[in-house]
Chain A
Amino acid sequence: MHRHFDKDIEDIKDLLLRMGAMVEDAISESIRALLERDTSLAEEVIRNDDRIDQMELDIDRRTLELIAKMQPAAVDLRFVAAIMKITPELERIADLAQDVCERVIELNREPQLKAMNAIPRLAHDAQTMVRQSLDAFVRVDANLARQVIAMDDNVDQQTEQSFRELLTYMLEDPRNISRAIRMTFVGKYFERMADGATNICEMVVYLAEGKMIKHVHEADRI
């Protein structure tokens, strides 16, 4: 049976996916601004963040209306819970892309530090995790969600590796310190994006299976 409610759910889902697409753009543009030292692109990402914030408010409003009017149960309830947890994660990921761009603008005021190895890989992997977490949500695919969660350890290792790399630059020459610290922040921002993708995936598992795998030992997540 078709329910009027289904239209509301579809609308909210569409909004969340549009917000997700904007967040993915923000990430890829922040990476491009970083690698190509493009200040104007970085400024554009920062400007666009307001639109993502507005999307969050819009989704929150509609979700609360839906709870008030429809009192969702079972899979509908889990969907609403997932939306309410995923939306702020996306908003935070967009803020992190904005933070990356702020550091890029600061870094571009000085000569390039050195060719970096770890950071671009880290950025790419974080971006992949965010994209796949949204794919998992669209398809309500708990398997994919678990695969994405499994990638997070690798991202953590890469963050650590980038930090060690930056530390050697700082030890080499004290004039590198301020730029290397900014770059350390950048690495941390990408790592936090990957954490956000992990949180989204945990909600996808909840949506699909009703199982809350957050704060659960790895072996019990299956």
Chain B
Amino acid sequence: MTTISMDRSTTPSHTAAAPPIVPETKPPAQETPIKIRVEKFDFYYGEAKALHGISLEVPERQVTAFIGPSGCGKSTFLRSINRMNDIIPEARGEGTIEIDGKDIYAPGTDVVALRRRVGMVFQKSNPFPKSIYENIAYGLRIGGVRNKRQLNEIVEQSLIRAALWDEVKDRLHESAFALSGGQQQRLCIARALAVDPEILLMDEPASALDPIATTKIEELIWDLKVNYTIVIVTHNMQQAARVSDRTAFFMLGRLVEYSDTKTIFMNPKEKMTEDYVTGRFG
């Protein structure tokens, strides 16, 4: 039986015989298809091991949040899911990351095609120094879309999906830098959506935004999960609690606990998770 002392100076007894951390890796029993399956994934920056044997399964069309203190490896892990880490010299991964059952690190994998399927949104919005329209159309043109009407349609659809259309439809040819921070971030989401990805990776997408812009991004995440599998890294625990279905807690490059978001925030199994979500860390 677990007991929790009210006396904060004593250590709760469920740390007494700390079992080896074997986090639950499977999503709930109801049959949600698995979109991303990770098996014993290690990651190294040169000699330094940044991730230790991560195994987890990300269900399709749900929001999965990665939380943990700075330097815990959550962003490294996120960037491994679309091989964004490949561009870092001396960095390498070992183990398996499968999307729809296919190993994305298998030789011969088309990384450009992979990144089209697995879109990414960063902490700091990074629009191109171009018009709002061109920010979205640019990637499409590179991808071979030349038809003007088709381009218009995809630009409009992407902006609608990113909940930005109504705010920019009359000024599509103005510079993207004329938009507010929150609008720029939604433009980046629209740009990611334009190439029709299946998975969206978000690395602290709202951390530089004010509360109103943050709420809009969170609402957008809710809407997007109908069509996309979303993985979000966030330092804002309330945000993880609000937007995600599943939460993974990372610490020192290890996956400590992975469970339903409500379990993580109401009744976590691991003492470390408990200390982190209650801010009793240090």
- Are these two chains actual partners, yes or no? yes
- What is the size, in residues, of chain B's interface with A at 8 Å between Cβ atoms? 22
A71 contacts across to B, CB distance below 8 A? 238
A78 to B262, CA, bound (A): 12
A115 within 8 A of B: no
**One of A31-39, A139-147, A176-184 at the interface:** A139-147
Instruction: Report yes or no: B3 in contact with A3, Cβ–Cβ below 8 A.
Output: no
**One of B81-89, B129-137, B205-213, B274-282 at the interface:** B274-282
Q: Chain A: interface secondary structure?
A: helix
A1 contacts across to B, CB distance below 8 A? 280-282
B265 within 8 A of A: yes
Q: Which residue of chain A is the closest to B1 with respect to CB atoms?
A: A142
**One of B4-12, B29-37, B147-155, B215-223 at the interface:** B4-12
Instruction: Report yes or no: A208 in contact with B278, Cβ–Cβ below 8 A.
Output: no
Instruction: Report yes or no: B277 in contact with A74, Cβ–Cβ below 8 A.
Output: yes
The smallest beta-carbon distance between B117 and chain A, in angstroms, is: 34
B179 within 8 A of A: no
A207 within 8 A of B: yes
A120 within 8 A of B: no
Q: Which residue of chain A is the closest to B241 with respect to CB atoms?
A: A73
Instruction: Report yes or no: A74 in contact with B268, Cβ–Cβ below 8 A.
Output: yes
A3 contacts across to B, CB distance below 8 A? 279-280
Instruction: Report yes or no: B4 in contact with A208, Cβ–Cβ below 8 A.
Output: yes
A74-B268, A77-B265 known; A207+B4 contact, CB < 8 A: yes
A140-B5, A207-B4 known; A5+B279 contact, CB < 8 A: yes
Interface readout for B230-266 with A: 1 if CB under 8 Å, 0 if not? 0000000110010000000000000000000000011
Interface residues of A in 61-95 (CB under 8 A from B): 71-79
The smallest beta-carbon distance between A220 and chain B, in angstroms, is: 15
Across the interface, B6 reaches (CB within 8 A) one of A2, A77, A138, namely A138
Across the A-B interface, how many residue pairs have beta carbons closer than 8 Å?
A: 54
The smallest beta-carbon distance between A218 and chain B, in angstroms, is: 18
Instruction: Report yes or no: A210 in contact with B267, Cβ–Cβ below 8 A.
Output: yes
B277 contacts across to A, CB distance below 8 A? 73-74
Across the interface, A76 reaches (CB within 8 A) one of B2, B238, B241, B278, namely B278
Instruction: Report yes or no: B4 in contact with A75, Cβ–Cβ below 8 A.
Output: yes
Instruction: Report yes or no: B237 in contact with A73, Cβ–Cβ below 8 A.
Output: yes
Instruction: Report yes or no: B1 in contact with A73, Cβ–Cβ below 8 A.
Output: no
B274 contacts across to A, CB distance below 8 A? 74-75
A131 within 8 A of B: no
A6 to B5, CA, bound (A): 13
Interface readout for A178-210 with B: 1 if CB under 8 Å, 0 if not? 000000000000000000000000000001111
Instruction: Report yes or no: B266 in contact with A6, Cβ–Cβ below 8 A.
Output: no
Q: Which residue of chain B is the closest to A76 with respect to CB atoms?
A: B278
A141 to B281, CA, bound (A): 25
Interface residues of A in 130-163 (CB under 8 A from B): 138-143
The smallest beta-carbon distance between A209 and chain B, in angstroms, is: 5
A142 to B13, CA, bound (A): 13
Q: Which residue of chain B is the closest to A75 with respect to CB atoms?
A: B4
The smallest beta-carbon distance between A192 and chain B, in angstroms, is: 28
The smallest beta-carbon distance between A98 and chain B, in angstroms, is: 30
User: Given contacts A74-B268, A74-B273, could you give 15 more A-B pairs where the C-beta distance is less than 8 Å?
Assistant: A1-B281, A2-B8, A3-B279, A6-B8, A71-B238, A72-B278, A74-B277, A75-B4, A77-B265, A78-B267, A138-B6, A140-B4, A208-B1, A208-B3, A209-B2
B residues contacting A by CB (< 8 A) are 1-6, 8, 237-238, 241, 265-268, 273-274, 277-282
A-B contact pairs, 10 of them (CB 8 A): A6-B8, A72-B278, A73-B237, A74-B267, A74-B274, A75-B278, A78-B266, A142-B1, A209-B1, A209-B2
